[in-house]
Structure 1
Amino acid sequence: MPKKLIKRLMPDHQTIKKNKHLKIFGTLLHNANLWHLNRRSVSKAFAVGLFFAFMPVPFQMVLAAGFAIIVHANLPLSIVLCWITNPLTMPAIFYFCYLVGTWIIGVPTRKFAFEANWQWLVDSVSTIGPAFMLGCVVLATIFSILGYLAINTFWRFSVAKEWKKRKERRS
């Protein structure tokens, strides 16, 4: 059952409550519904976490936590799923976002080399920025919807399978 698997992989809620970056939410973190594992909260958590994983902004986890609180999604899962875009996966994912953005806008891709300075960032906002941001928003939306639907469907399938097993055992 997905609940047992998720519960095993999820961090302890006390650890998350003590996180220094999440203290801005104060007593909102004490809402018990943010820590429950059920089909709705987990599906929402996948939607929230996957959406913010594709957003190229700092403090993705804090934004995901805030939105999880608003929509009553499972808070730990929402935060953990942001780490799909980590330092190892981020270049490939964000380059794919750029390619999707250029395809949607209909502009050719530009060759660019990343430079870690302010001037490069300012220059690239006007050149590759629009396609990149559009690609990020589109893929964030698509993957959050797909994540929500996949988890919801998987959860329902697992519960139906368990009910069937239980019914067979009784017969």
Structure 2
Amino acid sequence: MAASRLARRILPHPDTLAQTQGLKWLGRYLAPRPWLWVAHRRRVAMGVAVGIAVGVIPLPTQMLLAALMAIVFRANVAAAVAATWLTNPFTLVPIWSLAIALGRMASGHTGPIATPEMLAIDWTQPSTWWPSLWASIQSLGEPLLIGLPLASLVLGALAYLLVYFGWWAVIKGERWRRLRKRR
């Protein structure tokens, strides 16, 4: 059970949260509800799935929403909050590309997403920056708005499967190692 021990070592105890300024409410809420904090394969996998699903959609309060959704789905709250950090400026382009592709497939959008004229920004003329940016955002509109929730569901489901079966593989590997050591 190496994965479980590692998760217990990394995650702070609810009592620690109850003594931390600004997080006291979370510690007090989690202490009588250990199922929201326990490092269990299904709960952690669901927490990661919820966190990634919430993190894909650009919201200013992703971590808070992920924590609330984890409580609703009875998932691991820490895993949900931490998984929102996977969406960042470096992962934005691949995630939005997937979202646009899914949105185009779902909506049947066949036209160009952005023409070179829309993306041509004259950096010497600051007054043209916002109109050019707005034109490119409008061209992404429908495919992106339809694709973000779809990408959220797809990536959340993939994350669940990856964590669940990855954890299972670690447990099987540990058992195999222990059995091999006995021989």
Q: TM-score, normalised by structure 2?
A: 0.72
> 1:52 — aligned with what?
54
Query: Which 4+ stretches in 1 moved above 6 angstroms?
Result: 114-117
From 39, 42, 46, the equivalent of 2:41 is 39
The structure with the larger Rg is 2
Measure the CA separation in 1 of the matches of 2:104 and 2:22: 38
Return the alpha-carbon distance in structure 2 between the equivalents of residues 41 and 164 of structure 1. 24
Cα distance in 2 for residues equivalent to 1:97 and 1:157 = 30
Matched position secondary structure for 1:56: coil
Q: Kindly report the root-mean-square deviation, in angstroms, between the aligned alpha carbons of the 2 structures.
A: 3.5
AA aligned opposite 2:172 = A
Question: Quick check: 104-113 or 144-153, which moved more?
Answer: 104-113
Other-structure match for 1:29 = 30
Matching residue of 1:69: 71
Structure 1 residues 84-93 or 133-142, which shifts more?
84-93
In the alignment, structure 1 residue 150 sits paired with structure 2 residue 158: no
Measure the CA separation in 2 of the matches of 1:22 and 1:87.
31
Structure 2 gap segments, 5+ residues each: 122-128
> What is the percent sequence identity of the aligned residues?
25
Question: How much has 1:9 moved relative to structure 2?
Answer: 5.2
Match of 2:99 among 97, 100, 103: 97
For 1:138 and 1:17, locate their aligned partners in 2 and report how far apart those are by CA, in whole Å.
39
Summarize deviations over 1:124-157 as a string: whole Å, max 9, x none. Answer: 56x5333112211111111111111121112222
Name the amino acid aligned to 1:159.
I
2:36–2:71: 8 Å Cα contact kept in structure 1? Answer: yes
* Structure 1 counterpart of 2:140: 128
Question: Aligned pair in 2 of structure 1 residues 37, 75: CA closer, same or farther (>3 Å)?
Answer: same
CA deviations 1:39-78 (Å, max 9, x no partner) are: 1111111211111121122211111100111222111111
Deviations 1:78-103 (A, max 9, x none): 10111111133324422431233123
Normalised TM-score (structure 1): 0.76
Q: Does 1:109 align with 2:121?
A: no
1:137 corresponds to which residue?
A: 149
Change (3 A) 1:17 1:155: farther
